[in-house]
Each structure stands twice: as C-alpha cells, then as structure tokens.
Structure 1
Amino acid sequence: MAKSIATFLMFEGKAEEAMNFYVSLFEGSEVQAIERYGKEGPGAEGSVKKADFLLGGHPLMCIDSPIPHAFKFTPSTSLFVECADEAEFDNTFAKLSEAGQILMPPGNYGFSQKFTWLNDRFGVSWQLTLQ
C-alpha cells in the first residue's frame, strides 16, 4: 500500500508564488513545509526544492525544476473544486482567471448549476462547479 498520494506540480521559478496564491484562496489550506535549494544547487539558491501544502485539506507538492522542460501543464489534468456557494465560485473564478485563460466561461452546462474551466496565470488547469 502506498505511504501517501499527493498532486504534484512542477514549476520553473514560480512554485512558491503559485503555492502561496492557491493557499490564499481556500479555507482549510496551509503551507506545511518548504525545502529550498542552497548555494550548492542544482536549483537557484532559495528556490523551492520541495514544498508540501494543503488546499481545502487536499495534499499537494510543488517544486521549482532546475531543468527547463519542453512540456508545461495541460488541461487534461486539472484541480476540480466544488464551491460551497455562488460567492465562493465567483470570487475563486475572478482570482484564478486573472491573467489566465478561460477554457469554458462560467455558465450552466446542464451538469451543474454553474461551471467553468480555466488555466490560471501559472498554467495550472482548474474546474470550478456549483451544484
């Protein structure tokens, strides 16, 4: 049996900024631990070697990769958020969509009262729903 399972996000220099942004959006969220690269590298000194955080109780990890990659995040994997009410939906959508890309604008698509799909400014894909 696995010791643990967490969603893993790889950034190139924006891990801490993204993590702090996400933690600010949801109740029950917190940064649990941050390990940083030192002078010896291989990442930039002070960048995130590994960080653990919770979003609404869901465990995630993130890093700043010291190696540039040709791939980025893809909408085929997303964080799915069931919002408690319309105010939470609208507020979360406004913050996540700022400087991001809206894939499906907020609306009633028949399977939920209100739904949206977007990529945030860091490239991470999110689905928000209001049942």
Structure 2
Amino acid sequence: MQKITTYLWFDNQAEEAANLYISIFKNSRIVEVQRYGQGGPGPEGSAMIVTFELEGQRFIALNGGPQFTFTEAVSLYVDCTSQEEVDELWARLTEGGGEEGQCGWLKDRFGLSWQIIPRRLQELLGNPDPAKAQRAMQAMLGMRKIDVQGLVDAAG
C-alpha cells in the first residue's frame, strides 16, 4: 500500500466519479466500496467511501456532503505521451458538463481539476534557447487544450 493517498471529498457522487475515472484510464479499478448503514448520515446502502486506483495510483473518495467543494488549488496532473492521448482525455473528462480551462487545465463534471499535459510541452518550455522557450510559453498561454504542433510551430 502506498504511504500517502489522495483523498477526494464529493457531495454524493464519489462512486459515479470513481467509475468514470476507471473507465478512462487503463490499469485502473475499484478497490473497495464502503456503504452507509442504517445509522447514516448518508442514505442506507449508498456509497460512503470508494477506494480506487488509476494507473496504479490509489485514491479515496468520500461522499461527505456539500460542505466542501473542489478548487483549482489541487489538481491531478496527467503526463500524456501524445496529442492523441491529450485529445482523448480532454474529451472524456470534459463531457457531461466539464469545463475547459487555460493552459491544459480542465474541470470534470464533478468539479475536480485536471492538468492534461503532453510531455513535449515540458521539453519545449525547457529549451536551452530562451527565445524558443518563451515563444512556446506564449503559445501555451493562449491555449485551452494543449496543441503540441501549435507549440512546436510557435517555438520555431
């Protein structure tokens, strides 16, 4: 078991969210679902805690009620190897009410923030030629979903 696990607070959509996430990412699964009993505070039989893994990384999701919501102060960063992966994840995570953000950020329909970032972006931003790196940065700042070819073209 990993030493530190990300714990996500949902209103009442923990199981729905976990099922969406495991349908998107390979090597993912629901590990355990603990359900509320007669004593509540959630409806009897509904998910209380859902433990799941995405690409081997464990997460715990709680149906804790509406007191707390997600903010961009915490996001899940996804290292993408290709534009195709960026495109697929972007589409899947924004469908059903998600919101596009700037610079590769988005919120899924549950309000959780994700960074869908192609590996090539880091290479371009770390270019030893500062002018090329700056042009790539400026191009990225004008994007929502990251377009790798657009970055390459801008960097020159």
The structure with the largest alpha-carbon Rg is 2
Deviation per CA, 1:7-36: give whole Å up to 9, x if none. Answer: 111111111000000011111111101110
Aligned residue for 1:119? 107
Instruction: State the Cα distance separating 1:39 from its structure 2 match.
Output: 2.1
Residue aligned with 2:87, SS: helix
- Residues matched between the structures, number: 117
- Aligned partner (choices 60, 79, 82) of residue 82 of structure 1: 79
Match of 2:90 among 74, 93, 102: 93
Within 1, Cα distance between the matches of 2:51 and 2:38? 22
TM-score (norm 1): 0.83
Match in the other structure for 2:23: 24
1:102 corresponds in structure 2 to: 100
State TM-score, norm by structure 2: 0.70
Structure holding more helix per residue: 2
Cα RMSD for the two superposed structures: 1.4
- Structure 1 stretches of 4+ with a deviation exceeding 4 A read none
Identical counterparts, % of pairs:
41
Normalized per residue, which structure has more strand? 1
Answer yes or no: is the 8 Å Cα contact 2:42–2:48 preserved in 1: yes
Structure 2 residue runs without a partner (length 5+): 120-156
The alpha carbon displacement at 1:52 in A equals 1.0
Find the partner of 1:68 among 49, 66, 84: 66
Greater relative CO, 1 or 2 (CA 8 Å, sep 6+): 1
Deviations 1:17-65 (A, max 9, x none): 0000001111111110111002221211122221211111111000111
Unpaired runs of 5+ in structure 1?
105-114
